[in-house]
Amino acid sequence: MVKWKIQCLEKGLCLGCGAKPHRPNRRTCADCSAADWKQKKVLKAERKKRGDCTSCGRKSRFGKNICYKCHFSRVINALDILPEERVRARKAVALFNKRCQCCGADNPGKKGEWCIDHCHKTKRFRGIICNGCNCTLGFAQDRRERLLAAVEYLDRSIFKDCVKLLMHQVAEEKKLRAEWIQKEVDRTPILITDRDVEAKISELKEVAEKNLTQIKNGGSI
């Protein structure tokens, strides 16, 4: 079979039928190419109807017509990275455990597709990350100082929120304590002992005697 294909290529014949000359920059003639395209179209339609990957026939992802392996293969082939980095990316995909290698999330985020992260300057593969981390690195332009500044900004805002929350909790606690004390005061009866009553009576007697003495002396109260 291999020898026959080599002979066809040497003679400039189609690899499909071996009778007609192949097209320029192609290995098959127009008829074989059209027949092959129709066959692939029918095969893709059957796989799509079954819910399988239209490229390889494996079980496709939920709501998609392509499996993870073919999806990653297309993305890696489209990336502008070095050849050895392409090999590293394929190995990483084979060992991928469906967790973001940046934040550890198990949900890829938007569109349900994991992102192949790479450095645009060095053209090196970095890892497989979720959509959120990929957008974060993109908007930060892969600048470490910008990401660290964002972390410090979050820490400051969290500290301010914590202080406000603490002050609010203290004020609420004081308010509740004051309300509780007022309820206890309203509910607790005022207890008057016999000694208090005797002291009040003696005080009134003294005042009455003073008034009577002033009246006898011809004075006014």
Residue 18 dihedral angles phi and psi, to the nearest 5°: 75, 10
Q: Round to whole Å and give the CA distance between 80 and 125.
A: 10
- Cα–Cα nearest to 85, from 127, 144, 143: 127
Interaxial angle between packed helices 83-94 and 68-78, expressed in degrees from 0 to 180 and rounded to the nearest 10: 160
pLDDT at 149 over 80: yes
pLDDT of residue 158: 77
Which residue did the predictor score with more confidence, 197 or 138?
Answer: 138
Question: Does the pLDDT of residue 185 top 90, yes or no?
Answer: no
Domain boundaries, given as residue ranges, for the chain: 2-50, 68-142, 154-188, 190-221
Between residues 9 and 62, which one has the greater pLDDT?
9
Average pLDDT over every residue of 6-18: 66
pLDDT at res. 98: 85
In the chain, what is the straight-line distance between the N-terminal and C-terminal CA atoms, in Å?
140
**pLDDT for position 42:** 74
Q: pTM of the entire structure?
A: 0.52
**CA 166 and chain centroid, separation:** 27
Amino acid at 202: S
Instruction: Examine the pLDDT at 60 and tell me if it is beyond 70.
Output: no
Contact 123, 85 (CB under 8 A): yes
Most confident residue range from 31-35, 54-58, 151-155: 151-155
> Per residue in 62-99, pLDDT tens?
556 777 778 788 888 888 888 899 999 989 988 888 89
Query: pLDDT at position 190, please?
Result: 54
Ramachandran angles phi, psi of 194, nearest 5°: -65, -35
Concatenated DSSP letters of 190-213 = PP--HHHHHHHHHHHHHHHHHHHH
Say what the pLDDT of residue 125 is: 93
Q: What share of the chain is helix, strand, coil (3-state, %, to 5)?
A: 60, 5, 35
pLDDT digits (tens, 9 = 90+) for 16-53: 676 666 666 666 777 777 777 777 777 777 777 777 77
What is the CATH code for 68-142?
3.40.1800
User: Do residues 93 and 128 make contact, with C-beta atoms less than 8 angstroms apart?
Assistant: yes
